[in-house]
Amino acid sequence: MRDSCQCFQHDRVASHITNRRQFLRHLVGAGVLTTASLIDPAIARAEKKVPKALVLSCIDYRILEAERYFLSLQNLGGQYDFTALAGASLALSGMPHQYDADAFWDQLDISYRLHHIKKVIILDHQDCAVFQYKIDPNLADNPALELTTHTEYLSRAYWAIRDRYPDLNIELYFVNLNTDVKQISPLAKV
């Protein structure tokens, strides 16, 4: 009668899975140790990549290739944590949603604590639909005003990060759709 009880059968299956998992862990562990002992330690260390920065970018697909190329020129080639939020620096101000700012702070904290990053790079871009939606629908029609507006929000982001993480380097950039990347100096804190 007890063998027909589903509870008892469940316990036997769970026990079998546990034993199988322990066996596989043992095999994998032994395999990893054996393989690791065959690898030259200097080569193993040289191949380990460690993120140097957290990059915040807009979600706009039009600038991703230009950003990737730019980051490779900064000797970061794949050695960065990447976060994309609509509006990039605008997201840190809680626009379009406060959830975006919260997500950024969570990602920065994780990157800082677990990957020990030394730098944050924020990349805003020309003709950003989120800036047009939240700030001015004609923003892209006036390049000088557009750059000034992005500089203001990049600066706000700079000081917000600096206040929480004073030891991090922070770099601000504005990416034109023609792939030119301009470094932005933060405005004085207000």
Q: Tell which residue, 76, 82, 39, has the closest CA to residue 58.
A: 82
Three-state secondary structure readout of 114-139: HHCCCEEEEEEECCCHHHHHHCCCCH
pLDDT tops 80 at residue 1: no
Between CA 111 and CA 82 the distance in angstroms is: 10
Question: b/e string for 99-120 if b means 16 or more Cβ within 10 A?
Answer: ebbeebeebbeebbeebebebb
**What are phi and psi for residue 57, nearest 5 degrees?**
-130, 165
Q: What percent of the chain has pLDDT over 90?
A: 68
Residue 147, both tokens: 């750059």
Asked if 161 contacts 108 with a C-beta cutoff of 8 angstroms, the reply is yes
Asked if 54 contacts 80 with a C-beta cutoff of 8 angstroms, the reply is yes
pTM for this model (two decimals) = 0.75
CA dihedral 22, 28, 29, 32 (to 10 degrees): 180
List the single range of 37-41, 113-117, 126-130, 181-185 with lowest mean pLDDT: 37-41
